[in-house]
């Protein structure tokens, strides 16, 4: 522990979440959602999220919810066109001092190819081009006296360049390669640099991290 091959985008998103947790405004356009504590946003399909949330384009959404991440489960319904399925491995993110900031859980949206009217079955299940990356802080990273917003979960929903329909290939390296280019996502979100965010965080916590 202490080493992370994280995508720079993930580091910047996690740092923005730290700022939000200590009471700072979230720096980018987002939607705060009131969701079920067990299933979270998994009760919604990508199209439902796009229609009910704010964003700068149709490829990316930033969502903030307040829920216990340990309770999050897969939501599947006969009426729903598909479901979000998370990958087994969670990614850890560390700061410049190798302190564990938090984790990321990655999920893909799967749907049933039933355009011809046939019934849903596992053989007709397809992985879509939509992915969510859920960011949450560890309980030990921030001093409790500085935490103003608890149980915050930041979710980024992004449309990937191509879908990987091989259900057996779940490596995060594969996922990272097919995600939209970091430059494209950063331009759409207009995120500040990691250095600027970390400097702001350290300034806010300098009296508590001794």
61 in a structural domain: yes
Q: What is the pLDDT along the chain (210 residues), one digit of tens a residue?
A: 444 556 788 999 999 999 999 999 998 889 998 887 777 888 889 999 999 898 878 889 999 999 876 656 666 666 667 889 888 888 999 999 999 999 999 999 998 876 655 566 666 788 999 999 999 999 889 888 889 998 899 999 999 875 455 544 444 544 444 445 555 565 555 554 444 445 554 555 554 443
84 in a structural domain: yes
What pTM does this model have? 0.74
Torsion, Cα 79 82 83 86, to 10 degrees, reads: 160
177 in a structural domain: no
CATH classification of the domain holding 62: 2.170.150.80
- Quote the strand ranges of the chain, DSSP E: 31-32, 60-66, 82-86, 91-94, 100-112, 125-137, 152-159
4 in a structural domain: no
């Amino acid at each position: 522990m202490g080493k992370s091959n994280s995508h720079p985008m993930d580091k910047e998103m996690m740092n923005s979440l730290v700022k939000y947790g200590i009471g700072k405004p979230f720096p980018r356009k987002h939607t705060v959602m009131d969701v079920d504590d067990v299933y979270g946003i998994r009760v919604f399909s990508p199209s439902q999220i796009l229609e009910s949330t704010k964003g700068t384009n149709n490829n990316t959404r930033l969502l903030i919810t307040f829920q216990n991440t340990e309770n999050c489960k897969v939501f599947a319904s006969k009426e729903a066109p598909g479901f979000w399925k998370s990958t087994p491995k969670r990614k850890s993110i560390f700061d410049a001092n190798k302190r564990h900031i938090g984790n990321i859980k990655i999920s893909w949206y799967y749907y049933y190819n039933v355009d011809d009217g046939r019934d849903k079955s596992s053989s007709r299940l397809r992985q879509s081009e939509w992915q969510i990356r859920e960011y949450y802080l560890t309980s030990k990273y921030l001093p409790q006296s500085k935490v103003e917003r608890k149980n915050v979960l930041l979710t980024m929903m992004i449309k990937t360049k191509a879908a990987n329909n091989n259900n057996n290939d779940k490596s995060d390296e594969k996922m990272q390669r097919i995600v939209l280019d970091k430059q494209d996502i950063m331009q759409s979100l207009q995120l500040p640099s990691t250095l600027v965010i970390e400097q702001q965080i350290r300034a806010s916590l300098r009296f508590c991290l001794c």
